[in-house]
C-alpha cells in the first residue's frame, strides 16, 4: 500500500455526535477510563491523520469533560463553541470478554442547541447522536440542509440498549441514510437492523436509495465495500488483537481520510466510484482499524503509522 497524496487545500471536516468517557472493565483488572463515543472517535481519528476537524458535541464542565477536551486538543481537533453544557459528561461502561470484544452500558444525555456550523468539505455523524432525541432532530436538520457539494457520511453504529425499538431505529437510520453519500455499518449492525436479510441485499437496498458508497465491516473477516453495481471484499490485516474498542470508528476515519487525500470526493458526490477506488480506499480503512485493535482503547493511527516508510 502506497501513501495517499497530501490533503487538498481548504479541506475541513465537521463531526457531529456524542463524546463520552468509556470506562473499560477487563476480567481480572481494575477499570480504566478512555475518552470515547463513536463520533468523537471519528473526529479524533481524522485529526490524527491531519484532517482539520471540528467536533460539535455535548460534554459537561467537569473532570470527564476536561479529559475529552484535552484528548481532542492532542489531535488538533476543535471543539465547537457551545459544546460544553451544564449536565454531567456522559459515560459508557465497556465490558470486555476474554477475546477483547466489548459490550456497553450507557449513562448518556444527547441534546444540542441550534448550531452555527463552520463551512465543511465533509460532515460526518453516527451512532447514538443520529437516533436519540432531542439531539437527533438537530443532526437530521444539518444533514438535510447541508450545502450542495458537501460530502455527508453516516455510521449507524447501533446500540440497541439505548436507541429504542428496532422499528424506531430502522426508521431513523434509513431516514438519515437517505441524505448521506457514504454509509458504513458493521455486520452486527446489519444483522440487528435487518434480521435474515443478506449483506448483498442490504447493500443493494442502500445503493438503490441513493447512497454512493456502502461499506460493511466484518471484524476479523475484513470488509465489503459497494458502489453502483460493484462490490469488493477485502481481507482484514493480520494482527494480534488487544481489544476492539474504536475499531469501526478507526475504519471510518481511515476511509474518510482516504477519500479526502485521494481526491475521491467528487467521485463519491457524482456516484462514480469504481472497483479500483473501492479496493484502494478499503485497504487504507482496514489498515487504520488493524493498528487500532493492536493497542488498548480507541487509539487510531497517525499518517506515519498508516504509511510506514
Calculate the dihedral angle through the C-alpha atoms of 175, 180, 182, 188, rounding to the nearest 10 degrees: -10
* For residues 37-50, average pLDDT: 96
Q: Is 65 left (phi over 0), alpha (psi -120 to 50) or beta?
A: alpha
112 CB-side CA count, 13 A: 29
The yes or no reply on domain 13-298 and CATH 3.40.1190.20 is yes
List, for residues 110-120, the tens digit of each pLDDT value.
988 777 888 99
For 174-208, the pLDDT digits (tens) are: 999 999 999 999 999 999 999 999 999 999 999 99
Is 186:217 a contact under the CB 8 Å cutoff? Answer: yes
Sign of CA dihedral 126, 86, 142, 53: negative
Lowest-pLDDT range, 39-43, 94-98, 129-133, 299-303? 94-98
pLDDT digits (tens, 9 = 90+) for 245-295: 789 999 999 999 999 999 999 999 999 999 999 999 999 999 999 998 888
2 pLDDT band (50/70/90 cuts)?
low
Query: Which has the higher per-residue pLDDT, 191 or 243?
Result: 191
What mean pLDDT comes out for the span 128-150?
Answer: 94
pLDDT in tens, 54-80: 999 999 999 999 999 999 999 999 999
Mean pLDDT of the chain: 92
**Pairwise CA distance, residues 113 & 185, whole Å:** 27
- Residue 221 corresponds to which cell in the numbers above? 473477516
Residue 297 or 224, more confident: 224
Could you identify the residue written with the cell 489531535?
A: 75
Amino acid at each position: 500500500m502506497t501513501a495517499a497524496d497530501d490533503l487538498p487545500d481548504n479541506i475541513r471536516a465537521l463531526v457531529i455526535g456524542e463524546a463520552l468517557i468509556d470506562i473499560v472493565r477487563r476480567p481480572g483488572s481494575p477499570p480504566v477510563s478512555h475518552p470515547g463515543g463513536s463520533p468523537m472517535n471519528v473526529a479524533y481519528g481524522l485529526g490524527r491523520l491531519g484532517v482539520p476537524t471540528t467536533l460539535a458535541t455535548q460534554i459537561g464542565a467537569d473532570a470527564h469533560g476536561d479529559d475529552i477536551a484535552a484528548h481532542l486538543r492532542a489531535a488538533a481537533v476543535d471543539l465547537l463553541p457551545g459544546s460544553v453544557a451544564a449536565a454531567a459528561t456522559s459515560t459508557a461502561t465497556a465490558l470486555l470478554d476474554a477475546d477483547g470484544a466489548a459490550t456497553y452500558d450507557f449513562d448518556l444525555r444527547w441534546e444540542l442547541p441550534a448550531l452555527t456550523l463552520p463551512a465543511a468539505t465533509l460532515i460526518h455523524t453516527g451512532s447514538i447522536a443520529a437516533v436519540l432525541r432531542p439531539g437527533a432532530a438537530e443532526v437530521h436538520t444539518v444533514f438535510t440542509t447541508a450545502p450542495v457539494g458537501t460530502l455527508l457520511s453516516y455510521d449507524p453504529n447501533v446500540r440497541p440498549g439505548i436507541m429504542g425499538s428496532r422499528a424506531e431505529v430502522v426508521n431513523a437510520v434509513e431516514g438519515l441514510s437517505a441524505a448521506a453519500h457514504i454509509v458504513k455499518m458493521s455486520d452486527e449492525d446489519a444483522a440487528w437492523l435487518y434480521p435474515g436479510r443478506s449483506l448483498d441485499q442490504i447493500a443493494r437496498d442502500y445503493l438503490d436509495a441513493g447512497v454512493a458508497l456502502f461499506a460493511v465491516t466484518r471484524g476479523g473477516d475484513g470488509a465489503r465495500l459497494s458502489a453502483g453495481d460493484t462490490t469488493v471484499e477485502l481481507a482484514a490485516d493480520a494482527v494480534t488483537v488487544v481489544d476492539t474498542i474504536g475499531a469501526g470508528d478507526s475504519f471510518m476515519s481511515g476511509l474518510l481520510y482516504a477519500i479526502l487525500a485521494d481526491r475521491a470526493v467528487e467521485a463519491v458526490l457524482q456516484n462514480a466510484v469504481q472497483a479500483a477506488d473501492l479496493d484502494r480506499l478499503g485497504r487504507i480503512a482496514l489498515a487504520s482499524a488493524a493498528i487500532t485493535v493492536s493497542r488498548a482503547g480507541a487509539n487510531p493511527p497517525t499518517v506515519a503509522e498508516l504509511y510506514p516508510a
